[in-house]
Amino acid sequence: MQKNIKYQHNKHKELVDACAEGNRKAQLKIYDLYYKAMYNTSLNIVNDTYLAEDIMQESFLDAFNKLETFEWRSSFGSWLKRIVINKSLDSIRKKIDIVPISEDVTEIPEEEEVSCEDMDCKVEEIKVALKLISESNRVILALHLFEGYDHQEISQILNISYNNVRVRYMRARNNLVEQILKSKRQHVLN
């Protein structure tokens, strides 16, 4: 089992080592392997195709320039994804400030939870609704739902408390569902 984990972390070691030596063909191969996933990661956070493209390109450039700092504690893809997420969040922070709701939040308030499972949701409806919610809410949802980070990891990424992340996630999810329901109502009325 340990051997498989080590193999996964070193999956592209030869390519990454070649990239570190400035081999342009190796860099292109790495780019081809990861660009779609990195673009989608950024797009899920920034919700802007042009900005996501720029962030993805800048992230690859940064990764290639900083390969000497990569220590193989994780896979290259995980390391690159973290660069993309950080750049995406930096881009959003320039526009808004993701500040804590209240650092004295000790428990999640009781609210009626609305769920997509109670409705007939389609992927397109969710994508449209994501564009309608605030950027700070979309960031929390994207990191949790699309990138698979748990609340503790998100609290570290955004530098806010764990409870704050949980509250924001619950509110963001409910806001997303409300947008979907609103869109469905408007569709029925038209």
pLDDT category of residue 32 using cuts at 50, 70 and 90: very high
Which token pair is 170?
A: 């619950």
| Higher pLDDT, residue 187 or 179 | 179
SS3 189: helix
Q: Does domain 116-189 have CATH number 1.10.10.10?
A: yes
The CA–CA distances, whole Å, from 45 to 74, 88, 161 equal 22, 6, 20
125-128: Cβ within 8 A, 24+ apart: 125/180, 125/183, 125/184, 126/176, 126/180, 128/179, 128/183
Per-residue pLDDT tens digits for 95-144: 765 544 444 444 444 444 444 454 456 667 777 788 888 888 888 888 99
pTM: 0.71
Q: Fold match between 2-95 and 116-189?
A: no
**CB 166, CB 158: distance < 8 Å:** no
> pLDDT over 70 for what percent of the chain?
78
Burial 82-118 (b: 16+ CB within 10 A, else e): ebbbebbbebbeeeeebebeeeebeeeeeeeebebee
So what CATH class is 2-95?
Answer: mainly alpha
Q: Above 90 in pLDDT, residue 75?
A: no
| Residue ranges covered by each domain of the chain | 2-95, 116-189
